[in-house]
Amino acid sequence: MKAIALVPSFFGPSGDAVNERQLLMALARRVDKCYVITFIGFKQIFTKRRTELKIAPPKNVILISLPFPQINILIVCLVAIIVSCLTSIISLILNMLKKIDLIYVRNSFLSIGFLTFRTLAQKTIVKIPSIVEDEITESGVTKFLTGKLASITDRLALAKAGKIAVNGKLLYYELVRRRSLKHKDEPLNIPPGVDLSLVEKVKNKKTCLNSSKEHYIVGFLGLITWWQGVDILVKSVAKLKDACLDKPVKLLLVGDGPERRKIEELCKKLEVAYEVTGFVEHDKALEYLSTFDVLVLPRYKISTTESNIPIKVIEAWALGVPIIVTRHKVFEFYGFKNYEDVVYCEPTPESVAEALAKVLSSADLRRKLSEKGPQIAKHFDYQFISKAIIEAFNRKKCTR
């Protein structure tokens, strides 16, 4: 079996890149050859971040990187459509030579070209990871036009793709409601996952990173942007000064993003002890995560956060790190219980501070959450997810 994957990000520490990279590496173990086409930013080419490009893929993976500046989301979407059309022509030729069996595309903008040709559309799995317009902060022409374009491309994918994939069924239900169109088949569930072999290496590795002996390490991992609720986290940690804890608290933010300066200024204003690592490689991020006493994600409630379990939650489970997270619909949909699997909060400083005080003041609760996490993470192993993709494709092939 030979496959083509077209994904917007493959290199770097972002959640999207880490998820797609690990998923495609797992998928590559199940096919003879996998062509991966992806974008790379100018910062990844001309700055120290070029080390992110030094990935040694398996021999059967052919990486094709297309330089592209991240200017404006509308421009990015339009360029994605152009790239899709050009790539689909090459894929059509390969398909005629019987060299392509499976096509995996992340987001509907990149699927347009493939869906134009019926022979390619039948072999194409389009993953729609979010309702795009809900993640745009600024209002105005950009948001309006991007939303309209996303609606068109999402509807085209729902109408013509061989298979639709989503991070979870809740997102699919919202997608169908918003786009007023349903795919003919049940969606394929491809949630963020975890490479358990990598997690084991982190567990066994002795690290010189911050120790939690002198402080409780309250941590965040990911893109520092508005919907992550990092400002809420800072305010909640400031409120812990009045809590009767046996050790002081330090806030460790692993990542970077457009809100970084604002968050650092807030930490200084509220006199919160903090550290921001900036972007780090995935392995290093996992090492930092393993030092957390608790991972806190007080994310705001939008369609993406309500319907997706973020990859950092799954990795925290695998590492046995307790988690405090907004009570999003997706967690209750899967039946995760409060004070057993995670600790729920609302995206307010008061609610997060209350949850933090309970977790940090109870060693028994932390131990209970830590022991349960690895059991949950096993269900999100990329090996199982990649197997499900191949099986779904084979079933689809048999019913033609």
Q: With 80 as the cut, is the pLDDT of residue 47 above it?
A: no
- Say what the pLDDT of residue 211 is: 47
Architecture of domain 196-380: 3-Layer(aba) Sandwich (3.40)
pLDDT of residue 396: 62
pLDDT given at position 53: 82
The pLDDT of residue 57 is above 90: no
Q: Which pLDDT tens digit goes with each residue over 154-213?
A: 999 999 999 999 988 899 999 999 999 999 999 999 988 999 988 988 988 755 454 447
- What is the pLDDT, as a whole number, of residue 1? 87
CA-to-CA distance for 395 and 197, rounded, in angstroms? 29
Interval 89-115 mean pLDDT: 90
Question: How many CA within 13 A on the CB side of residue 390?
Answer: 18
- Token pair, residue 223, equals 């893109």
d(Cα 250, Cα 390) in Å, to the nearest integer?
A: 44
Q: pLDDT averaged over the chain?
A: 90
Give the architecture (CATH level 2) of 2-193+381-398. 3-Layer(aba) Sandwich (3.40)
Would you list the DSSP string of 258-316? TTHHHHHHHHHHTT--EEE--S--HHHHHHHHHH-SEEEE-----HHHHH---HHHHHH
How far apart, in whole angstroms, are the C-alpha atoms of residue 358 and residue 340? 13
How high is the pLDDT of residue 133?
A: 86
Locate the domains of the chain by residue range.
2-193+381-398, 196-380
Q: What is the mean pLDDT of residues 26-33?
A: 92
What are the E-state strand segments in 170-281? 188-189, 216-221, 249-254, 274-276
